[in-house]
Structure 1
Amino acid sequence: MSVRPRPGAEVPALTARTARASNPRGTTAMWVRDHLDGLWCDEDFTSWYPRDGRPGLSPAQLATVCVLQFLLNLSDRQAAEAVRCRIDFKYALAMELDDPGFHHSVLTDFRDRLCEGDRADQLLDLALERMRDAGLLKERGRQRTDSTQILAAARELTRLELVLEAVRGALEETARRAPEVLDELVDTDWAKRYGRPVRLASQPSHPVTRLTQAGADARRLLDRLPPAARGPRTEALRQIMVQNFLIDTRGNLRPRTDKDGQPRGALRIVSPYDLQARRAIRGDTRWSGYLVHVTETCDADDSVNLITDMATTAPTRDSQALPGIHTRLRARRLLPAEHLVDGGYTSAALLDRSARDHQLQLVGPVKASGSWQEKQQTGYTREAFHIDFDRRQVTCPNGKTSGNWLEPPSMAPYTVVRFHALPCSRKPTSPSLHGGRRCDDRCRGCRLPTSGNTQGIRLSVRPLRSAVGNPTGT
């Protein structure tokens, strides 16, 4: 199937007249055509299709259908039916009123082509470039980022099911790549164990014995399979074996236990057919799959919110995805002046890095202090101190300034600030602080990050000795 570009695809006069008469105020599909006309053209998709073959449908039209399908939350069948029956869809796609449309399976084929390589990112960059030229996007505005979970297209497997299915997948791959290995390895028992997809009861019989047997079979397969015949399924089996089995001092293979140590959830493989999917827990939500980070514009005016970046990652901390988001926005010349995020994206290092490297303000809630002073209410927390990086001094809650400011290389990137205990012990605190108690055992050395940004400072009070030489708490 090849592409035959349509020169100057304009809305037919009869289609435009009928759509305006039946929808005077317009619809979402008509708005897309009026404001984003020329967002894509068929020439942008020529590298996706072979040069020869029978002419295919317009990829620019299919890309527009995918956008409308997302906006209106339509399935493939509903989207194909809308193209065939709805006048506003024919207007958005510049089609004649008697155009019969296409079969819904065409959208699946188009998305398969879109998922190859980095085509999705290239298409997003192209769309954002043309929307910026149309005045719908501007640099140094306001944007926001949030993440949500994506479920992996894989069934939840127990450890026994995971190993059995991994062996079965590796055997099927070996049958295609090196069938001679299976001639001397596979017998009737292997066919019974791995002849069909694994479906076990909630409480299978002899789980430890069956797991040990599956591990032994996998070991025999990996030992006899030459490296040139190994494929992705065999590599998945090898990684699953490393995570779930070990060889003891006698050379025997046995399943791992909690005492032996098992990989954390962020590293543990959950499916032999999707090695990047991981099991994650956030609050009361548990899932196996990925995280997608969506960034969109959110200016104060009545402009439409447009997605400027999407990133799919393993279910790790949100803060690990933020530097990549800023890098891609900078490459697209769409860095905001104000970036709104939730608490998972904020930290003292990211606040400083965003301002220093990208000249943007990262706005989000700072995590609550987890220090023992905050929990026990028996000492000052970091919020009680005023830090002046220009004068290189810290002021305690009683108004006393620090005596010296040290930056030893062994403690980088922290700075040690010390207070004189005796002068501080002569002045009582205000009644609102610690019930009017004195400050003699509270104002001590502080450890501060060496940064000019005082927002989100991680301050921990260090215990020192008092003037009479007795150890004191903070």
Structure 2
Amino acid sequence: MSVQPCSGAQVPLMTVRVARASNPQGTTAMWVRDRLDGLWRDEDFAAWYPRDGRPGLSPAQLATVCVLQFLLNLSDRQAAEAVRCRLDFKYALALELDDPGFHHSVLGDFRDRLAQDGRADRLLDLALARLREAGLVKQWGRQRTDSTHVLAAARELTRLELVLEAVRAALEELTVAAPELLEPLVTAEWAERYGRPVRLCSQPRHPITQLTQAGDDAHALLTAAAAHAPDRTTAPAFEALRQILVHQSAVDARGRLRPRTAKDGFPPGSLQIRSPYDLDTRFAIRGNTRWSGYLLHVAETCDPDSPNVITDVATTVPTRDTAAVPGIHTRLNRRHLLPTEHLLDGGYTSVALLDTAEREYKMTLVGPVKASGQWQHKEQTGFARDDFTIDFANRQVTCPRGQTTTSWGQAPALAPYIAAHFRPRQCDPCPARSSCTRGHAARSVYFLPQHLHELQARNRADQQDPAWRKLYALRSGAEGTIAELALGHHARRCRYHGLPKTQCREV
């Protein structure tokens, strides 16, 4: 299938007349066509298709349909029907009134292309470039970022259900690829256990026995497939089964598989597969929220004299928000949309990120740096680190009682923090020892290198300034955008399996 560029085509006159008569005020689809003349052109998609082959549908039109589909929360069938029946869709796509549209499966094929090689991000680049040309977004303004959880399009499974369903998914894969391997393996008991989707009650009988049996079945299936059909062991279902077996089972002293226990230790939640049908989804906890899925980061402009425009969308596995900031800045820099001030909550900010943004992008991150986790800060008593005087020139730290350290070093495990230690002979006779340290050892003070330490102190001082608080209050507007995406466009629930397609939909 090849691309036959048809960009620049005018909206047919009859389509204009009927659409305007029916919608005098216009609609979102008509506004996109009128103000931006379409967000994309067919030439932008030329690299996605071979040079020869039968002419395909306009990719620019399909991309526009995908956007309208997300805005209006339409399924593929409903979107295809809207192209066939709705006047504003025909207007937005520059179609004749009698255009029959296309089959709904075309949208699924287009998303498969869109999910490859980060094409969804490049499509957003093109859309933002058009918006920048139209004067709706600009560089060196003010932006804000927030995140929310996204629920995977897969059922929550217990540990036993996960292993059983993983074996069943691998068996279905093998049934299609190499059914002859199933004859010596599958018995009446296997058919009973894996013949249909797993649905267990809240308290199944003998769960440990069932889990042990499922582990043995998984091992036998993987061994048989590796011996007789090694090319099938790279399929997603077998890869999921292999990883789930490693995560949920251990080998005892006699070399037999058994269910993994807390004593054996479990992999962190960021590594454990939660469903054999979606290998990217992960379990996460934030406050009182627990979910299996992804994390959605959204950046938008918040200048007072211009509309709020989303400038970056990133769907990631659940991690710390600070891990997403470098990627956001890299993409904004590529789009020539870096802000002068980037408003972030405390989950996104750190002293290192404040320094990097200022040094590499000449950008100011506006957000509170996380407070110290020492008990002095939590209880608001005793001598905290800020009560000590740090002399970087002489490499000494002086405590509130006048004692000075003689030890100053930076261990690789603590980088970039510097550690200064007092001696027991200094701390033990001190009458204020209980206000300084509760351990048996002498007090140790940990702090950042000088330029980062000063940046941290300046950030904490700025937080007491009313002007800083007024500026930071603008960040809360991002929560409204998140709420609109979650409630108005159902962005909090995945429609598809896998991170690439989920990212494609959110973008």
TM-score range for the pair, normalised by the shorter chain length = 0.7 to 0.9
Q: Specify which structure has the bigger relative contact order, considering alpha-carbon pairs within 8 angstroms and separated by 6 or more residues.
A: 2
Mapping 1:39-54, distance limit 5 Å: 39-49=39-49
How much does 1:406 deviate? 8.3
- On the 8 A contact 2:140/2:340 being kept in 1, the answer is yes
Task: Give the corresponding residue for 2:325.
Answer: 322
Task: Give the corresponding residue for 1:335.
Answer: 338
SS, match of residue 144 in structure 2: strand
Amino acid at match of 1:315: P
Amino acid at match of 1:182: L
1:12 corresponds to 2:12 = yes
How much does 1:9 deviate? 0.8
SS, match of residue 150 in structure 1: strand
How much does 1:321 deviate? 1.2
Q: 1:276 aligns with which of 272, 275, 280?
A: 280
Closer, same or farther in 2 for the Cα pair 1:106/1:220, shift >3 Å? closer
Identity of aligned residues (%): 66
Closer, same or farther in 2 for the Cα pair 1:71/1:235, shift >3 Å? closer
How much does 1:74 deviate? 4.3
Amino acid at match of 1:242: V
TM-score for the superposition, normalised by structure 1: 0.80
Mapping 1:25-104, distance limit 5 Å: 25-49=25-49, 55-104=55-104
Mapping 1:375-454, distance limit 5 Å: 375-381=378-384, 408-410=409-411, 413-415=416-418, 447-453=446-452, 454=454
CA distance in 1, matches of 2:199, 2:295: 28
1:234 corresponds to 2:238 = yes
Closer, same or farther in 2 for the Cα pair 1:403/1:17, shift >3 Å? farther
CA distance in 2, matches of 1:363, 1:84: 48
How much does 1:278 deviate? 0.8
How much does 1:391 deviate? 11
Closer, same or farther in 2 for the Cα pair 1:386/1:12, shift >3 Å? farther
Closer, same or farther in 2 for the Cα pair 1:441/1:195, shift >3 Å? closer
How much does 1:212 deviate? 0.9
Amino acid at match of 1:131: L
Task: Give the corresponding residue for 1:432.
Answer: none
Mapping 1:56-455, distance limit 5 Å: 56-224=56-224, 225-226=226-227, 227-231=230-234, 232-302=236-306, 304-381=307-384, 408-410=409-411, 413-415=416-418, 447-453=446-452, 454-455=454-455
How much does 1:383 deviate? 5.8
User: Highest CA radius of gyration, 1 or 2?
Assistant: 1
Closer, same or farther in 2 for the Cα pair 1:189/1:404, shift >3 Å? closer
Q: Residues 372-407 of structure 1: CA distance to partner in whole angstroms, max 9, x if unpaired?
A: 1123332244566798989999999x9x99989986
Structure 1, 157-166 or 12-21: larger mean CA deviation: 12-21
CA distance in 2, matches of 1:182, 1:105: 33
Amino acid at match of 1:237: L
Q: Residues 278-305 of structure 1: CA distance to partner in whole angstroms, max 9, x if unpaired?
A: 1112222221111121222222213x33
SS, match of residue 308 in structure 2: coil
Closer, same or farther in 2 for the Cα pair 1:307/1:43, shift >3 Å? same
Q: Residues 72-101 of structure 1: CA distance to partner in whole angstroms, max 9, x if unpaired?
A: 444545544544444433332222344444
Closer, same or farther in 2 for the Cα pair 1:405/1:166, shift >3 Å? same
- On the 8 A contact 1:61/1:93 being kept in 2, the answer is yes
Closer, same or farther in 2 for the Cα pair 1:402/1:66, shift >3 Å? farther
Amino acid at match of 1:296: E
- On the 8 A contact 2:9/2:94 being kept in 1, the answer is yes
Task: Return 5+ residue gaps in structure 1 as ranges.
Answer: 420-437, 460-474
Closer, same or farther in 2 for the Cα pair 1:412/1:98, shift >3 Å? closer
SS, match of residue 150 in structure 2: strand
Structure 1 or 2: larger helix share? 2
Task: Return 5+ residue gaps in structure 2 as ranges.
Answer: 423-431, 437-442, 460-507
Amino acid at match of 1:163: V
SS, match of residue 350 in structure 1: helix
How much does 1:245 deviate? 0.9
CA distance in 2, matches of 1:343, 1:38: 38
How much does 1:362 deviate? 0.9
